[in-house]
Amino acid sequence: MTNPAGEELTTELARWGARIAQRSGAVAGERFEAMMRDTWCTTMSRNGDGVFVVTGDIPAMWLRDSSAQVLPFLRLQHVPQVAETLRGIVREQWRCIRIDPYTNAFNAGPTGAHFDESDGELDPNVWERKYEIDSLGFPVRLAHRIWRDSGDAAHLDDAVRRGCHAIVELWRREQRHFELSSYRHVRPAEPWDTLGEDGRGTPVAVTGMTWSGFRPSDDACRYGYNIPAQLMAVSALRCIAEFADHWDDAPLAAEARALAVEISDGVAAHGLIEGRYAYEVDGLGGVLWMDDANMPSLLSLPLTSDVAADDPVYLATRAWVLSDENPFFYRGKFAEGVGSPHTPEGYVWHIALAVQGLTGSESEGESCLATILATDAGTGLTHEGFDPDDPGLFTRPWFSWSNSMACELMMELVEPRG
């Protein structure tokens, strides 16, 4: 075991497993304990004073995934081992952000390992350098949740403060991507992962929103303004402003709040169309109507932004996402739900089923959990995408983010966060 669970954590997981078994059945309780222990014991390892978290079957740490993987553990901060580990993950994430805020996935040190050796001259700490807004938004929101839930701000140290300044500067710069940014992504071996315009991305207008090269799926954006990511950035900037108030850093607080307003206004002007949110826009008239299983998604907005689950625009958007009008909503004999262009056509994602359950009614949550439990292909774990007509066909046998989202749904059904 990379990170053995101590006695108190083991007891706490068993207590939750028993509550979940009473609420959702014995299989749910068993799966909860197994998946929580899998995430804790096999994906986390000490790295200096930090905690490095692999995604599962890929040996790198994604800033997004590592934040989502510990989501259910945020309820267990009263366990000292959990509190210490969460703060170690925060230290590791902000160490990575200091290295390069444009990077989405990192090595545990300067190993020189890369996803694709045809990438340009990357820092040896970098696994791959796909710039995604959510790669910065998730660590900000994780640090904020730890502070909010525990009342302890000790992890909001100078490294986080300097990182927050870097994030605000980057998001401000990327409001005028083609004028001010030097970011490029060219991958000769995989042209579909090379951004247009010689790695700069397809043209966008200046809208107040902040540009992104890639989606949360790590797929290239068709248009440079991904709306779920914009709304996550607005939320993260508000968190940064609260951090800045704590630090008595008035200039950072003012800049973060001002930028949040500009991005929010840009979304309202360009990303809100006919009463619902689009997935991507360019400010020049280009609009992409779809949703993707990866978070932040349109479906996940109440979980990844400040958009409320009962907001009328969200409800209209959600109804569209969970309909046949969404080109990545799929139906099969054993399941129906949101998939992704990142996986084979027709595959439904367990993450999206968990998100649907977490953003819907209690009965919808129960139904989504039943589907998740019934489509594990006998592995006892969730996966990335699976064939809803044959769940034995799936991608990624070990995908910790997906396991954690299923665990969070189980916990929410037992004890809603409110």
DSSP characters over 170-231: HHHHGGGHHHH-------TT-GGGS-HHHHT-S-----SS---SB-TTSPBPSSSEEHHHHH
CA pair distance 234, 254, nearest whole angstrom: 14
Q: Using an 8 Å Cβ cutoff, are 230 and 267 in contact? A: yes
Give the N- to C-terminal CA distance of the chain in Å, as an integer. Answer: 35
What pLDDT digit, counting tens, does each position of 329-350 carry? 999 999 999 999 999 999 999 9
Count of Cβ atoms closer than 10 Å to residue 284 Cβ = 14
Class of residue 245 by CB neighbours under 10 A (exposed 0-12, middle 13-18, buried 19+): middle
CA pair distance 405, 358, nearest whole angstrom: 9
Q: Using an 8 Å Cβ cutoff, are 127 and 115 in contact? A: yes
Q: Using an 8 Å Cβ cutoff, are 202 and 282 in contact? A: yes
What pLDDT digit, counting tens, does each position of 58-112 carry? 999 999 999 999 999 999 999 999 999 999 999 999 999 999 999 999 999 999 9
Both tokens of 260, joined, read 């949040």
Q: Is the pLDDT of residue 377 over 70?
A: yes
Which of 189, 185, 188, 196 has its CA nearest to residue 218? Answer: 185
Q: Is the pLDDT of residue 374 over 80?
A: yes
What pLDDT digit, counting tens, does each position of 239-277 carry? 999 999 999 999 999 999 999 999 999 999 999 999 999
Q: Is the pLDDT of residue 418 over 80?
A: no
CA pair distance 175, 259, nearest whole angstrom: 10
What pLDDT digit, counting tens, does each position of 12-64 carry? 999 999 999 999 999 999 999 999 999 999 999 999 999 999 998 899 999 99
* Residue 1 pLDDT: 62
Classify the C-alpha dihedral 346-347-348-349 as positive or negative.
negative
* E strand or H helix at 112: none
Global pTM?
0.97
CA pair distance 67, 216, nearest whole angstrom: 13
Classify the C-alpha dihedral 38-42-43-49 as positive or negative.
positive
**What angle, rounded to 10 degrees, do the helices at 362-374 and 350-359 form?**
160
* Residue 118 pLDDT: 78
Both tokens of 42, joined, read 């096999």
Helix (H, G, I), strand (E, B) or coil at 395: coil
Q: Using an 8 Å Cβ cutoff, are 133 and 221 in contact? A: no
